[in-house]
């Protein structure tokens, strides 16, 4: 038996399958999931699980380089915004239109995880990143400025696959 982290097999597989630049959406109970999407449906009741419960499981296991959400969240759903700032780096936030969250982002998403959340504008797109520290371990490989600044934002974590 797996000891910790994500215990749900489908969600664990979905997180492990994510590659750089691919989108995982974590959405509310009423989200119009496209018919052909890879759906991980975790909704079991009203607000079960919540969006924050899913962030708490996914954030430690997925490298996220961008968090997209409806611009209305910051002003009109302060609890959801606070939850996002707790689990993800605000420097990675990229507000979009609500229409983008239910349209183009949903169509581009590799995986859509449905929660039981009854949260206005509760549809969040996470763009997967990479561990730049792991890619630049060879001292003979120079680190371009763009990647150096990304590495400074995400400090080296011992035991995270670095040599």
62 phi, psi to nearest 5 deg: -120, 125
- Output 137-143 pairs: Cβ under 8 A, ≥24 positions apart: 137/162, 137/163
Q: What is the DSSP letter of 69?
A: E
Q: Which domains does the chain have, with CATH numbers?
A: 21-153 (3.40.1650.10)
| Known active-site residue 20 | yes
CA–CA dist 146, 153 (Å, integer): 11
Q: What is the DSSP letter of 45?
A: B
User: What would you measure as the largest C-alpha separation in the chain, in angstroms?
Assistant: 54
CA–CA dist 69, 126 (Å, integer): 9
- What confidence score (pLDDT) does residue 2 get? 86
How far does Cα 146 stand from its chain's mean position?
Answer: 22
CB 6 within 8 A of CB 61: yes
Tens digit of pLDDT per residue, the chain (163 long)? 889 999 999 999 999 999 999 999 999 999 999 999 999 999 999 999 999 999 999 999 999 999 999 999 999 999 999 999 999 999 899 999 999 999 999 999 999 999 999 999 999 999 999 888 888 888 888 888 887 877 777 665 545 544 4
In the beta sheet, which residues pair with residue 23? 127
- Is the entire prediction scored with pTM above 0.85? yes
């Amino acid at each position: 038996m797996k000891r910790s982290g994500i215990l749900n097999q489908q969600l664990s597989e979905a997180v492990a399958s994510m590659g750089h630049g691919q989108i995982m959406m974590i959405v509310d109970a009423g989200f119009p999931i496209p018919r052909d999407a890879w759906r991980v449906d975790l909704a079991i009741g009203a607000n079960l699980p919540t969006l924050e419960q899913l962030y708490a499981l996914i954030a430690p296991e997925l490298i996220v380089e961008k968090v997209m959400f409806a611009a209305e969240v910051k002003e009109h759903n302060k609890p959801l915004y606070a939850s996002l700032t707790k689990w993800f780096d605000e420097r990675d936030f990229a507000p979009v239109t609500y229409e983008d969250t239910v349209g183009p982002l949903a169509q581009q998403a590799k995986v859509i995880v449905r929660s039981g959340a009854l949260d206005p504008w509760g549809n969040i797109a996470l763009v997967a990143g990479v561990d730049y520290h792991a890619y630049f371990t060879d001292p003979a490989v120079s680190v371009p400025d763009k990647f150096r600044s990304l590495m400074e934002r995400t400090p080296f974590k011992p035991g995270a696959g670095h040599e």
